[in-house]
Structure 1
Amino acid sequence: MSDLSGLQPRHFLWEVRDRVGTVRLNRPERKNPLTFESYAELGALFRALPAAGDVDVVIFASNGGNFCSGGDVNEIIGPLIGLPMKDLLAFTRLTGELVKAMIHCTKPVIAAVDGVAVGAGAIIAMASDLRLATPEAKCAFLFTRVGLSGADMGACAMLPRIIGQGRAAELLFTGRVMGAEEGRDWGFWNALHVPDRLEEEARALALRLAAGPTFAHGVTKTQLNQEWDMGLDQAIEAEAQAQAICMGTKDFERAYRAFVAKEKPVFEGN
């Protein structure tokens, strides 16, 4: 197992405390846009998480009142103009790799969104497992507003599963802003919190998950993603196998012994 507490990334902020890793983009003066370099470095972080022995949950946090304004106009969008198709495809695959890395990182990811979460910022929130926001949060899948399709970084596959096909189609065709209360009512946001409490609530949720059976949480995350492509019989069999694996862990035994002793179980993630 590796240790990510000493990681010092160049293109975002990262800290590990009490087995919770917190990542935040660090260009608040520009509402935290992404660059070619930050895409690549974020992907590397999430690909490293399965082997990280010191991180059980990740919070993708806001910075300076905003979450992420998407790809930097000057550092990404401008340089893409006129590139040959193979280079354009290399870039779009790079962006998709971040979503894949988040999906397969085996650790619950909580997005804590304040202010702007648009374009790729909306995608990062979408790709998180749990999403908290403030009433001021503005989320938009605005790709059509810059002449692109709404099919970006898995949005056409993932967003309908979260909020429904018709609602997703509207957002992806129009690129309009989804208001915070609207997003909560549609099931995109799990909860809304005032800005002063957003990170406190995200951290409380993260600590609750980190205190749980973290090996089993990883199994839950894997099954939530894999079962999209399964029929019901396949899903039931996959969950039978997954649950049998969890029943072989010490955490399952710890929970039983704590129940018998009328105590609260203390899980250790194995």
Structure 2
Amino acid sequence: MSDVLVEEAEPGHVVVTLNRPQTLNAMALSMVAELHDVLSELNASPAVRTVVLTGAGRGFCSGAEIKSADDARRDQPRPDQNKVAHLLGQQEAIVKVHELVHRMRVPVIAAVNGVAVGGGFSLSLACDIRVAARSARFGAVFIRHGISNADMGTSYFLPRLVGASRAAELMLTGRVFDAEEARDLGLVVDVVDDGTVVDRALATARQVAENSALGVWMTKETMWQTIDAPSLRHALDMENRTQIMCVGSGELERAFAGFKDGGRPEWSRL
């Protein structure tokens, strides 16, 4: 059975499901590698307009996999290998997925069902939009295990999404919070009944896909880059160059032609 399921729920809208329900979709290295391959392939497909990321069973993702004693022994570095280098290699293999989600050309919408803690929390933060089932639970919990909560992009994404002061409180306490609080924080855009969260995510996906593929790509990329801009001038320069590139693509003419005829524009593919 594959650790990652892929389904085109509707033309252009792909649902990617983490499929290790027996562990609440804990981040085994095998699942992480498969997820990276799946997302890379989707990112290269001009037919894909949005990706919805969710989890099988009762959880979105419970974070890093807790290994058995036998698995832990097998996963030791080679006798001639530096232990720190070995651990860093594993860490980088995981965070490559978070970076890929953030950098994909199409929006990634997290449909969070059940627990999303630790690495699962950070994975949801890397997505562009989040919707939550009422059963959803969120938390940066690394600190409760004696290590830093600045992990897997959490210290980058969370302050940008909820503000530095609230991010500090969540990261320093390591507390787990529910879907309603996540909505109050602005972390999720909606809370819906269990069993309907993917449908709710797809509703947003359809709205996104009404716009041009190039416009969506450039909006996602430019927004996240200007968040890090050192000044307004840098942000304006980035916006100006991106906008002129978009205008030169011909999509504006397609928009005017579609609106003139009373219909929808026929956007080009990426």
Q: State the TM-score, normalized to the length of structure 1.
A: 0.90
2:5 maps to what in 1?
Answer: 13
Mapping of 1:159-238 within 5 angstroms?
Answer: 159-230=158-229, 231-238=231-238
* Pair 165,138 (structure 1): closer, same or farther in 2 beyond 3 Å: same
- Take 2:196 and 2:43, find their aligned partners in 1: how far apart are those partners? 29
Secondary structure at 2:53's aligned position in 1?
strand
How far apart are residue 82 of structure 1 and its match? 6.8
Q: Are 1:38 and 2:31 matched, yes or no?
A: yes
Structure 2 residues not aligned, in runs of 5+: 78-82
- Take 1:59 and 1:193, find their aligned partners in 2: how far apart are those partners? 16
* Pair 163,46 (structure 1): closer, same or farther in 2 beyond 3 Å: same
Q: Are 1:255 and 2:248 matched, yes or no?
A: no
Conserved in 2, the CA contact under 8 Å of 1:67 and 1:114?
yes
How far apart are residue 30 of structure 1 and its match? 2.0
- Take 1:219 and 1:145, find their aligned partners in 2: how far apart are those partners? 39
2:97 maps to what in 1?
Answer: 98
1:133 maps to what in 2?
Answer: 132
How far apart are residue 228 of structure 1 and its match? 2.8
How far apart are residue 45 of structure 1 and its match? 2.5
- Take 2:68 and 2:90, find their aligned partners in 1: how far apart are those partners? 13
Conserved in 1, the CA contact under 8 Å of 2:133 and 2:195?
no
Q: Are 1:79 and 2:72 matched, yes or no?
A: yes
Deviations 1:15-37 (A, max 9, x none): 22411111111111221111011
How far apart are residue 149 of structure 1 and its match? 0.2
Conserved in 1, the CA contact under 8 Å of 2:2 and 2:19?
no
1:5 maps to what in 2?
Answer: none
Secondary structure at 1:172's aligned position in 2?
helix
Conserved in 2, the CA contact under 8 Å of 1:49 and 1:106?
no
Conserved in 2, the CA contact under 8 Å of 1:251 and 1:269?
no
- Take 1:29 and 1:226, find their aligned partners in 2: how far apart are those partners? 38
Deviations 1:6-63 (A, max 9, x none): xxx9321112241111111111122111101111221222233332122110000132
- Take 2:60 and 2:68, find their aligned partners in 1: how far apart are those partners? 18
2:80 maps to what in 1?
Answer: none
Between 101-110 and 228-237, the greater mean CA deviation after superposition:
228-237
- Which ranges of 4 or more aligned residues in structure 1 deviate by more than 6 Å? none
How far apart are residue 211 of structure 1 and its match? 3.1
- Take 1:50 and 1:32, find their aligned partners in 2: how far apart are those partners? 23
Identity rate, percent: 33
Between 121-130 and 220-229, the greater mean CA deviation after superposition:
220-229
Amino acid at match of 2:4: F
Deviations 1:168-219 (A, max 9, x none): 1111112111221111011101111111321111112112222321111111
1:27 maps to what in 2?
Answer: 20
1:66 maps to what in 2?
Answer: 59
Amino acid at match of 1:237: D
* Superposition RMSD in Å: 2.1
1:269 maps to what in 2?
Answer: 269
Q: Are 1:157 and 2:156 matched, yes or no?
A: yes
How far apart are residue 70 of structure 1 and its match? 0.9
- Take 2:47 and 2:257, find their aligned partners in 1: how far apart are those partners? 26
- Take 2:67 and 2:207, find their aligned partners in 1: how far apart are those partners? 40
Secondary structure at 1:70's aligned position in 2?
coil
Conserved in 1, the CA contact under 8 Å of 2:27 and 2:61?
yes
Conserved in 2, the CA contact under 8 Å of 1:116 and 1:139?
yes
Question: When the two structures are aligned, how many residues end up with a matched partner?
Answer: 262
Amino acid at match of 2:178: G
